[in-house]
C-alpha cells in the first residue's frame, strides 16, 4: 500500500512539504509502478490546479510542472520541438500520466523533455514556504540523480522562450522504434537573422551523468554568416569532440561518442553549416 497526501492546492502542497521534508513529491507517479516503497510517504500533485496550466505571456510559454506529456502534445501553445520529443516517450498510457516536472526532477540524463528544455535554455520556477526562486535549467543538475532542489521545494513551472525554436533538429536513438529508452538523444536549434547566425544551441542526452549543454562552444558560431560558420566547423567539431566524454554502461562509450558527433554534423549540414 502506498501512503501519502493528495494536495488540492499549491499552498497546501508547499505547507506539507515544509513541515515534512521527507515526503516524496510525485506528479503522475509512473515511477511508482516499478519502485514504490511501502515505508515512504508520498505527496501527490496531480490535482493541484496551479501546476496543471499551460499559459503564455509576452516572452515565455509557462508550463505547469504537473502537466502530462499528453497535455503538452495537445496544447496549441507548445512548440513543435517539445511536442516531437515527448510524443516519443513510452506508450500512450505513460504519456497520459507522466509529467514534465517528474521527467525533470528525477535527474536522469536520459529525460526526453529535459533535453529540450536544456537546448531551449529554459528556466525553472521553484517554490517553497520560504518563497520562490527562478534558475536556468542548466544550473539545476548537479550530477546523476542530483539536483539543486531543496528538500522543502517543488518545481512549480518551466519557463520556455516562445520565440526562436522553429528551426530545430531532434533525434532520439534507441534500440527500437517504440517504448525506447534513449541510448543517445540530441536537440539542436539554429537561428539565422539578417544573414548571420543569431544563436546556436545544442544538447546531448543519455551520454554523461547530466545532459551535455556547452553554450561556450555553441557561441563560436554566433554572429557568423553560414559561410563563415562552415569555415569554423572543424574547430567547432573539435571542441565538442573534447567536451563529450561519455559514461560507460551497457552501451560503449565509443558508440555514444560516435553517434553524438554524427548527429552534430548532421544537424549542422541540415542547417547549411
pLDDT tens digits for range 83-122: 999 999 888 988 999 999 999 999 999 999 999 999 999 9
Task: Tell me: pLDDT of 126 over 80.
Answer: yes
The reported pTM is 0.93
In this prediction, residue 191 has a pLDDT band, given cuts at 50, 70 and 90, of very high
pLDDT over 70, % of the chain: 94
Averaged over 127-153, what is the pLDDT?
A: 95
Task: Tell me: pLDDT of 1 over 80.
Answer: no
pLDDT computed for residue 252 by the predictor: 86
Task: Tell me: pLDDT of 54 over 80.
Answer: yes
pLDDT digits over 201-246, tens only?
Answer: 999 999 999 999 999 999 999 999 999 999 999 999 999 999 999 9
In this prediction, residue 176 has a pLDDT band, given cuts at 50, 70 and 90, of very low
What the chain holds in terms of domains, given with CATH numbers, is 3-161 (3.30.465.10), 168-270 (3.30.390.50)
pLDDT over 90, % of the chain: 79
Query: What's the per-residue H, E or C state across the chain?
Result: CCEEEECCCHHHHHHHHHHCCCCEEECCCCCHHHHCCCCCEEEECCCCHHHCCEEECCCEEEEECCCEHHHHHHCCCCCHHHHHHHCCCCCHHHHHHCEHHHHHHCCCCCCHHHHHHHHCCCEEEEEECCEEEEEEHHHCEEECCEECCCCCCEEEEEEEECCCCCCEEEEEECCCCCCCCCCEEEEEEEEEECCEEEEEEEEEECCCCCCECCHHHHHHHCCCEHHHHHHHHHHHHHHHHHHCCCCCCCCCHHHHHHHHHHHHHHHHHHCCC
pLDDT computed for residue 155 by the predictor: 98
Amino acid at each position: 500500500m502506498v501512503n501519502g497526501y493528495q494536495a488540492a492546492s499549491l499552498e497546501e502542497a508547499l505547507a506539507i512539504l515544509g513541515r515534512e521534508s521527507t515526503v516524496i513529491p510525485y506528479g503522475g507517479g509512473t515511477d511508482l509502478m516499478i519502485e514504490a516503497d511501502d515505508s515512504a510517504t508520498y505527496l501527490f500533485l496531480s490535482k493541484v490546479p496551479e501546476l496543471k496550466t499551460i499559459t503564455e505571456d509576452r516572452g515565455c510559454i509557462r508550463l505547469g510542472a504537473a502537466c502530462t506529456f499528453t497535455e503538452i502534445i495537445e496544447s496549441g501553445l507548445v512548440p513543435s520541438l517539445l511536442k516531437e520529443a515527448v510524443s516519443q516517450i513510452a506508450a500512450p498510457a505513460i504519456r497520459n500520466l507522466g509529467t514534465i516536472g517528474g521527467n525533470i526532477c528525477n535527474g536522469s540524463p536520459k529525460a526526453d523533455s529535459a533535453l529540450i528544455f536544456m537546448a531551449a535554455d529554459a528556466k525553472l520556477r521553484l517554490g517553497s514556504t520560504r518563497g520562490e526562486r527562478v534558475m536556468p535549467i542548466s544550473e539545476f543538475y548537479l550530477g546523476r540523480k542530483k539536483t539543486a532542489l531543496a528538500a522543502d521545494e517543488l518545481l512549480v513551472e518551466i519557463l520556455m522562450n516562445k520565440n526562436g525554436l522553429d528551426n530545430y533538429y531532434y533525434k532520439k536513438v534507441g534500440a527500437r522504434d517504440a517504448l525506447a529508452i534513449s541510448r543517445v538523444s540530441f536537440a539542436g536549434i539554429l537561428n539565422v537573422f539578417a544573414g548571420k547566425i543569431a544563436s546556436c544551441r545544442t544538447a546531448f542526452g543519455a551520454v554523461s551523468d547530466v545532459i551535455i549543454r556547452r553554450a561556450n562552444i555553441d557561441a563560436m558560431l554566433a554572429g557568423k554568416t553560414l559561410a563563415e560558420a562552415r569555415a569554423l566547423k572543424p574547430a567547432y567539431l573539435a571542441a565538442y569532440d573534447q567536451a563529450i566524454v561519455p559514461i560507460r554502461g551497457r552501451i560503449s562509450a565509443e558508440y555514444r561518442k560516435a553517434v553524438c558527433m554524427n548527429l552534430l554534423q548532421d544537424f549542422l549540414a541540415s542547417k547549411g553549416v
